[in-house]
Amino acid sequence: MNVITQLKDVMDTHGYSQGQVARAIGRSSATMNQYLQGKYNGDIADMEERISNFIRRVREKQNALRIDERFVSTPTARKGLEVLAYAHQECEICVLYGA
């Protein structure tokens, strides 16, 4: 599957516009449009690298959403949360450290 096909698939699946993808990869909407139409005369390798990185980030983000981690309220966690609550209420800075 080539980069254009992969990008179009990601755009369709997630509802991204050409402008949104262009902003995410640091290129203009016009450049993105030319690339998708096969009319882009610039550095295609750079464009494909940027798009591949964008696709990878979207897929990583999608996979990260599937992870269902639960917070375990241990005695240490409760003490840490108490310190954080105090710092928040008093507008102070706190440091939590451990070995």
Condensed to tens digits (0 to 9), the pLDDT of residues 32-79 reads 999 999 999 999 999 999 999 999 999 998 887 676 778 889 999 999
Packing angle of the helix pair 3-14, 18-25 (nearest 10 deg): 120
- Whether the per-residue pLDDT at 24 is higher than 70: the answer is yes
What is the pLDDT of the chain when averaged over all its residues? 90
Is pTM beyond 0.85? Reply is no
Sign of CA dihedral 83, 88, 91, 96: positive
The CA distance from 96 to 81, in Å, is 10
Q: What is the DSSP string of 35-71?
A: HHHT---S-HHHHHHHHHHHHHHHHHHHHHHT-----
Whole-number Å distance between alpha carbons of 88 and 59: 35
What is the predicted pLDDT for the residue at 67? 67
What are the structural domains of the chain?
3-65 (1.10.260)
